[in-house]
């Protein structure tokens, strides 16, 4: 639900008419500090991470127990990705219109995730699992992901990069324990109960977190940070110069017409396929070139941990370096990592493989919070759930290519050929990102904040 109250507040506007609502504390709005709205989304994202980032380690056992082919197993998660990404836009639209609350979205997501893993553990029918794991589970995980990312951005408007990156990172490294479980303890004898327990774990964690979710009022700004003083502080002024706020609040149609939202969509679609390919196939690649199960699992663990932690680090870095520069940096690193993995496989060098997995993890995850933070930076916060839902929907394409089409590429060209193509695609995404520009702001324009009594609000 959205926090509303009859508490006194004032509104100030910057030189572009951007509104800040000041005067209400988180304790007054929801009975606890806003830190809860960072840790609860973080924990919920941690809970659902096993869907995507643990799948590669579980895939071989799924093939064996359910008698599926490599292609069938990966099309299951490819279709999951379509629904996980596709639900972001309609869910965001319904939330912004007040039809669906954050709490309702999270509780529905928790139940859907539980059903997905429960059915996967008892049915070997690919069609049934497409319905429950891919469609229902993907929708549930997408509801959790989109709600958590938008929630933290609303409660931390002045620290969006760092906080969004931190919460987003849990979607990756939360799967690390399950990677080792799937690599060592997951077999036909314990197949059903392991998946059932994971489903129950998600139901409890996501359900409890979601029950406590609450949105702030639109345009809310923390009462202990005066927007006038924050904008003039040297440290904040640098952050504003590197990441100036949106010139106004863009609706989804307006954001599309700027040309920047479609460009962001395309860049994310391209690099998303590279990242998901690494998540899904790295364990199989390591085993094929002769590395042992520990190195294969450790490589996947390194990729996943750095994938998650790197999101927080780059989120913090982007507050100082600039979102666009940080984004281009991680895209280039991801491209380099793909060729490093090919080289490590060619010379059978485990140390180089783990180092390249480190780079792949860093580059393959940090771009997600960059796009999540760039969206309100470019188009404002009030329609962020919808606007970012549109950008994130590019994962519809990424999942089909990175998981599904990649299976055919691996079959036809081998892992080396697939990784070489993946590296080239990563560099293409970096090239596309060079053309990103904030709509409506000329280079060098000033950032100023002024009180505007005419905007009203209770005294």
Predicted confidence at residue 372, as pLDDT, reads 84
Report the top-level CATH class of 29-217+254-438: mainly alpha
> What's residue 457's pLDDT?
37
Q: What is the mean pLDDT of each run of 10 residues along the chain (459 residues)?
A: 65 72 90 94 93 80 88 85 86 83 95 96 93 96 91 84 82 82 79 91 96 90 75 56 79 93 93 81 76 70 74 79 89 92 86 84 80 88 83 84 77 84 92 91 50 37
Instruction: Tell me how far apart the alpha carbons of residues 343 and 375 are, in angstroms, rounded to a whole number.
Output: 36
- Phi, psi dihedrals of residue 439, rounded to the nearest 5°: -65, 135
**Are 311 and 304 contacting, i.e. CB atoms less than 8 angstroms apart?**
no
Coil vs helix vs strand at 187: coil
Please list the alpha-helical segments (H only) found in 233-349: 234-242, 252-257, 260-288, 293-321, 323-347
Query: Does the model's pTM come out above 0.85?
Result: no
The predicted-structure confidence for 62-75, as pLDDT tens digits, reads as follows: 888 999 987 888 88
pLDDT of residue 102: 92
Q: Structural domain boundaries of the chain?
A: 29-217+254-438
Backbone angles phi, psi at 12, to 5 degrees: -125, 155
CA distance 340 to 338: 5
Q: Residue 454: its pLDDT value, please?
A: 38
Q: What per-residue confidence (pLDDT) applies to 59?
A: 80
Total Cβ atoms within 10 A of residue 13: 17
Which residues partner with 10 through β-bridges?
22
């Amino acid at each position: 639900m959205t926090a509303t109250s009859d508490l006194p507040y004032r509104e100030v506007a910057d030189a572009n008419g951007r509104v800040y609502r000041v005067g209400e504390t988180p304790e007054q709005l929801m009975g606890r500090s806003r830190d809860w709205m960072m840790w609860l989304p973080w924990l919920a994202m941690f809970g659902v991470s096993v869907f995507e980032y643990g799948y590669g380690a579980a895939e071989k056992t799924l093939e064996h127990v359910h008698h599926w082919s490599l292609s069938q197993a990966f099309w299951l998660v490819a279709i999951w990705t379509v629904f996980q990404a596709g639900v972001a836009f309609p869910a965001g639209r319904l939330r912004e219109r007040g039809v669906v609350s954050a709490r309702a979205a999270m509780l529905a997501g928790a139940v859907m995730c539980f059903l997905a893993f429960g059915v996967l553990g008892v049915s070997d029918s690919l069609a049934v699992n497409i319905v429950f794991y891919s469609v229902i589970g993907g929708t549930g995980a997408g509801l959790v992901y989109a709600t958590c990312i938008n929630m933290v951005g609303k409660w931390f408007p002045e620290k969006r990069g760092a906080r969004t990156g931190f919460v987003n990172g849990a979607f990756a490294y939360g799967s690390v324990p399950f990677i080792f479980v799937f690599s060592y303890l997951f077999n036909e004898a314990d197949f059903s109960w392991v998946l059932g327990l994971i489903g129950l774990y998600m139901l409890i964690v996501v359900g409890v977190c979601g029950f406590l979710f609450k949105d702030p009022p639109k345009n809310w700004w923390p009462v202990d940070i005066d927007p006038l003083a924050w904008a003039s502080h040297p440290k904040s002024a640098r952050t504003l110069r590197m990441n100036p706020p949106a010139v106004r609040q863009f609706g989804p149609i307006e954001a599309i017409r700027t040309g920047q939202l479609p460009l962001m969509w395309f860049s994310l679609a391209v690099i998303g396929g590279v990242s998901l390919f690494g998540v899904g196939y790295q364990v199989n690649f390591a085993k094929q070139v002769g590395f042992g199960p520990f190195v294969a699992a450790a490589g996947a663990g390194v990729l996943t941990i750095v994938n998650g932690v790197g999101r927080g680090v780059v989120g913090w870095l982007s507050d100082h370096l600039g979102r666009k520069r940080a984004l281009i940096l991680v895209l280039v690193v991801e491209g380099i990592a793909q060729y490093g993995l090919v080289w490590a496989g060619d010379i059978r060098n485990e140390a180089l493989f783990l180092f390249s997995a480190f780079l792949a993890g860093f580059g393959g995850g940090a771009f997600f919070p960059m796009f999540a933070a760039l969206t309100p930076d470019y188009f404002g916060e009030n329609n962020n759930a919808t606007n970012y839902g549109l950008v994130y929907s590019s994962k519809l394409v990424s999942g089909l290519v990175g998981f599904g089409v990649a299976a055919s590429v691996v079959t036809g060209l081998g892992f080396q050929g697939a990784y070489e193509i993946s590296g080239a695609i990563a560099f293409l995404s970096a090239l596309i990102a060079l053309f990103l520009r904030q709509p409506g702001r000329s280079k060098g324009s000033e950032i100023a904040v002024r009180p505007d009594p005419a905007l009203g609000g209770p005294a």
